[in-house]
Structure 1
Amino acid sequence: MHALTGFQNGTLNIDAGGNVTVNQGSFAGIIEGAGQLTIAQNGSYVLAGAQSMALTGDIVVDDGAVLSLEGDAADLTALQDDPQSIVLNGGVLDLSDFSTWQSGTSYNDGLEVSGSSGTVIGSQDVVDLAGGDNLHIGGDGKDGVYVVVDASDGQVSLANNNSYLGTTQIASGTLMVSDNSQLGDTHYNRQVIFTDKQQESVMEITANVDTRSTTTEHGRDIEMRADGEVAVDAGVDTQWGALMADSSGQHQDEGSTFTKTGAGTLELTASGTTQSAVRVEEGTLKGDVADIFPYASSLWVGDGATFVTGADQDIQSIDATSSGTIDISDGTVLRLTGQDTSVALNASLFNGDGTLVNATDGVTLTGELNTNLETDSLTYLADVTVNGDLTNTSGAVSLQNGVAGDTLTVNGDYTGGGTLLFDSELNGDDSVSDQLVMNGNTAGNTTVVVNSITGIGEPTSTGIKVVDFAADPTQFQNNAQFSLAGSGYVNMGAYDYTLVEDNNDWYLRSQEVTPPSPPEPDPTPDPDPTPDPDPTPDPAPTPAYQPVLNAKVGGYLNNLRAANQAFMMERRDHAGGDGQTLNLRVIGGRYHYTAAGQLAQQEDTSTVQLSGGLFSGRWGTDGEWMLGAVGGYSDNQGDSRSNMTGTRADNQNHGYAVGLTSSWYQHGNQKQGAWLDSWLQYAWFNNDVSEHEDGVDRYHSSGIIASLEAGYQWLPGRGVVIEPQAQVIYQGVQQDDFTAANHARVSQSQGDDIQTRLGLHSEWRTAVGVTPTLDLNYYHDPHATEIEEDGSTISDDAVKLRGEIKVGVTGNISQRVSLRGSVAWQKGSDDFAQTAGFLSMTVKW
Structure 2
Amino acid sequence: GNAADLSARVTGTGDLAFDSARGQTVSLSNMDNDYTGITDVRSGNLLMKNDNVLGQTSELRLAADTGFDMNGYSQTVGKLTAAADSLLNINGGSLTLQQGGTADGILTGSGALNINGDTLTITGENSTLTAKTTIAEGARVLMNTTLGLGTGDIVAAGTLTMSKAAGALYNSISDAGRVELSESDVALVGNNSAFTGQFAVDADSRLTVFTAENLGSAEVSNGGSLVLNSNTDWQLNNEVYGSGDVTKLGAGSITVGNNAAWTGKTEIEQGGLVLGDGTSPVTLASSEVNIAAAGMLSGTGGVAGHVNNAGVLQVGTGTGDNLLFTVGGDLVNSGTLATGVNGQQAGNQLVVNGNYTGNGGHLSLNTALGDDNSVTDKLVVKGDTSGTTSVSVTNAGGKGAATIDGIEVIHVDGASDGEFTQAGRIVAGAYDYSLGRGQDENSGNWYLTSGKTNPDPEPNPDPDPDKDLRPEGGSYTANLAAANNMFVTRLYDRLGETQYTDALTGEQKVTSMWMRHVGGHNNWRDGSGQLKTQSNRYVLQLGGDIAQWSQNGLDRWHLGVMAGYGNDHSNTRSSRTGYRSRGSVNGYSTGVYATWYANDASHNGAWLDSWAQYSWFDNNVKGDDLQGESYKSKGVTASLEMGYAQKMGEFSGSQGTLNEWYIQPQAQAVWMGVKADDHQESNGTRITSNGSGNVQTRLGLKTWIKSHHQMDNGKEREFQPFAELNWLHNSRDFSTTMDGVNVRQDGAKNIAEVKVGVEGQVSPRLNLWGNIGVQAGDKGYNDSAAMVGVKWNF
Q: TM-score range by the shorter chain?
A: 0.7 to 0.9
Q: Deviations over 1:571-612 (max 9, x none)?
A: 994677466766845242212112424242312233335458
**Superposition pairs of residues 370-381 of structure 1, within 5 angstroms:** 370-371=304-305, 372=307, 374=309, 376=311, 381=316
Does residue 57 (structure 1) correspond to residue 31 (structure 2)? The answer is: yes
Does residue 327 (structure 1) correspond to residue 262 (structure 2)? The answer is: yes
Q: Report the counterpart of residue 240 of structure 1 in structure 2.
A: 183
Question: Residue 348 of structure 1: CA displacement?
Answer: 1.6
Judging changes above 3 Å, is the alpha-carbon distance between structure 1 residues 420 and 61 closer, same or farther for their aligned structure 2 residues? farther
SS of corresponding position for 1:556:
helix
Q: Report the counterpart of residue 559 of structure 1 in structure 2.
A: 482
Judging changes above 3 Å, is the alpha-carbon distance between structure 1 residues 664 and 128 closer, same or farther for their aligned structure 2 residues? closer
Does residue 46 (structure 1) correspond to residue 8 (structure 2)? The answer is: no
Question: Residue 796 of structure 1: CA displacement?
Answer: 1.9
Question: Residue 643 of structure 1: CA displacement?
Answer: 0.4
Q: Report the counterpart of residue 653 of structure 1 in structure 2.
A: 587
Q: CA RMSD in A?
A: 5.1
Q: Report the counterpart of residue 68 of structure 1 in structure 2.
A: 38
Q: Distance in 2 between matches of 1:807 and 1:333?
A: 77
- The one-letter code of the counterpart of 2:224 is D
Q: Distance in 1 between matches of 2:776 and 2:410?
A: 50
Does residue 310 (structure 1) correspond to residue 274 (structure 2)? The answer is: no
**Superposition pairs of residues 710-721 of structure 1, within 5 angstroms:** 710=644, 712-715=646-649, 717-718=651-652
State whether residues 315 and 340 of structure 2, in contact with CA within 8 Å, keep that contact through their aligned partners in structure 1: yes
- The one-letter code of the counterpart of 1:56 is N
> How many matched pairs?
726
Q: Report the counterpart of residue 351 of structure 2 in structure 1.
A: 410
Q: Distance in 2 between matches of 1:705 and 1:727?
A: 13
Does residue 758 (structure 1) correspond to residue 700 (structure 2)? The answer is: yes
Larger radius of gyration: 1
Judging changes above 3 Å, is the alpha-carbon distance between structure 1 residues 346 and 145 closer, same or farther for their aligned structure 2 residues? farther
Q: Report the counterpart of residue 119 of structure 2 in structure 1.
A: 158
Q: Report the counterpart of residue 85 of structure 1 in structure 2.
A: 53
Q: Distance in 2 between matches of 1:119 and 1:224?
A: 25
Q: Report the counterpart of residue 616 of structure 2 in structure 1.
A: 686
- The one-letter code of the counterpart of 2:65 is Q
Deviates more, 1:649-658 or 1:760-769: 760-769
- The one-letter code of the counterpart of 1:548 is R
SS of corresponding position for 2:245:
coil
State whether residues 5 and 28 of structure 2, in contact with CA within 8 Å, keep that contact through their aligned partners in structure 1: yes
Q: Report the counterpart of residue 600 of structure 1 in structure 2.
A: 533
**Superposition pairs of residues 349-388 of structure 1, within 5 angstroms:** 350-355=284-289, 357=291, 365-371=299-305, 372=307, 374=309, 376=311, 381=316, 383-388=323-328
SS of corresponding position for 1:785:
coil
Q: Distance in 2 between matches of 1:287 and 1:296?
A: 25
Q: Distance in 2 between matches of 1:165 and 1:655?
A: 87
Judging changes above 3 Å, is the alpha-carbon distance between structure 1 residues 518 and 715 closer, same or farther for their aligned structure 2 residues? farther
Q: Distance in 2 between matches of 1:787 and 1:832?
A: 17
Does residue 783 (structure 1) correspond to residue 744 (structure 2)? The answer is: no
Q: Report the counterpart of residue 746 of structure 1 in structure 2.
A: 688
Q: Relative contact order, CA 8 A, sep 6+: which one is greater?
A: 2
Question: Residue 243 of structure 1: CA displacement?
Answer: 0.8
With structure 1 as the length reference, what TM-score do the two structures score?
0.70
Q: Report the counterpart of residue 482 of structure 1 in structure 2.
A: 422
SS of corresponding position for 1:200:
strand
Q: Report the counterpart of residue 26 of structure 1 in structure 2.
A: none
Q: Report the counterpart of residue 629 of structure 1 in structure 2.
A: 559
Q: Distance in 1 between matches of 2:251 and 2:668?
A: 75
Judging changes above 3 Å, is the alpha-carbon distance between structure 1 residues 30 and 425 closer, same or farther for their aligned structure 2 residues? closer
Judging changes above 3 Å, is the alpha-carbon distance between structure 1 residues 229 and 730 closer, same or farther for their aligned structure 2 residues? same
Mark the runs of 5 or more structure 2 residues left unpaired by the alignment: 21-25, 318-322, 439-443, 503-508, 653-657, 713-717
Question: Residue 475 of structure 1: CA displacement?
Answer: 1.6
Does residue 732 (structure 1) correspond to residue 671 (structure 2)? The answer is: yes
With structure 2 as the length reference, what TM-score do the two structures score?
0.74
State whether residues 606 and 635 of structure 1, in contact with CA within 8 Å, keep that contact through their aligned partners in structure 2: yes
Q: Distance in 2 between matches of 1:739 and 1:800?
A: 24
Question: Residue 751 of structure 1: CA displacement?
Answer: 3.3
Question: Residue 650 of structure 1: CA displacement?
Answer: 0.8
SS of corresponding position for 2:300:
strand
State whether residues 664 and 701 of structure 2, in contact with CA within 8 Å, keep that contact through their aligned partners in structure 1: yes
Judging changes above 3 Å, is the alpha-carbon distance between structure 1 residues 283 and 340 closer, same or farther for their aligned structure 2 residues? closer
State whether residues 85 and 111 of structure 1, in contact with CA within 8 Å, keep that contact through their aligned partners in structure 2: no
State whether residues 149 and 173 of structure 1, in contact with CA within 8 Å, keep that contact through their aligned partners in structure 2: no
Judging changes above 3 Å, is the alpha-carbon distance between structure 1 residues 416 and 578 closer, same or farther for their aligned structure 2 residues? farther
SS of corresponding position for 1:659:
strand
Judging changes above 3 Å, is the alpha-carbon distance between structure 1 residues 404 and 427 closer, same or farther for their aligned structure 2 residues? same
Q: Deviations over 1:419-462 (max 9, x none)?
A: 7666665677766555555555365554637366x56x555445
SS of corresponding position for 1:547:
coil
State whether residues 332 and 359 of structure 2, in contact with CA within 8 Å, keep that contact through their aligned partners in structure 1: yes
Judging changes above 3 Å, is the alpha-carbon distance between structure 1 residues 723 and 418 closer, same or farther for their aligned structure 2 residues? farther
**Superposition pairs of residues 438-453 of structure 1, within 5 angstroms:** 441=385, 443-446=387-390, 448=392, 450=394
State whether residues 375 and 395 of structure 1, in contact with CA within 8 Å, keep that contact through their aligned partners in structure 2: yes
Percent identical:
12
Q: Decide which of 758, 771, 788 is 1:838's aligned counterpart.
A: 788
Question: Residue 682 of structure 1: CA displacement?
Answer: 1.5
Does residue 201 (structure 1) correspond to residue 156 (structure 2)? The answer is: yes
Question: Residue 114 of structure 1: CA displacement?
Answer: 1.5
SS of corresponding position for 2:602:
coil
**Superposition pairs of residues 46-195 of structure 1, within 5 angstroms:** 46-49=15-18, 54=28, 56-60=30-34, 67-70=37-40, 72-74=42-44, 76-77=45-46, 79-80=47-48, 85-88=53-56, 92-93=58-59, 95=61, 100=63, 102-103=65-66, 105=67, 108=70, 113-114=75-76, 118-120=78-80, 125=86, 130=94, 134-137=98-101, 144=105, 155-158=116-119, 171-174=132-135, 183=142, 189=144, 193-195=148-150
Question: Residue 762 of structure 1: CA displacement?
Answer: 3.9
- The one-letter code of the counterpart of 2:117 is V
- The one-letter code of the counterpart of 1:267 is D
Q: Distance in 2 between matches of 1:540 and 1:224?
A: 74
State whether residues 395 and 426 of structure 2, in contact with CA within 8 Å, keep that contact through their aligned partners in structure 1: no
- The one-letter code of the counterpart of 1:68 is I
Mark the runs of 5 or more structure 1 residues left unpaired by the alignment: 1-28, 40-44, 212-218, 246-252, 520-535, 619-623
State whether residues 587 and 839 of structure 1, in contact with CA within 8 Å, keep that contact through their aligned partners in structure 2: yes
Judging changes above 3 Å, is the alpha-carbon distance between structure 1 residues 443 and 677 closer, same or farther for their aligned structure 2 residues? farther
Question: Residue 809 of structure 1: CA displacement?
Answer: 3.6
State whether residues 59 and 87 of structure 1, in contact with CA within 8 Å, keep that contact through their aligned partners in structure 2: yes
Question: Residue 685 of structure 1: CA displacement?
Answer: 0.8
Does residue 267 (structure 1) correspond to residue 202 (structure 2)? The answer is: yes
Q: Distance in 1 between matches of 2:493 and 2:284?
A: 84
SS of corresponding position for 1:470:
strand
Q: Report the counterpart of residue 586 of structure 1 in structure 2.
A: 516
Question: Residue 399 of structure 1: CA displacement?
Answer: 2.0
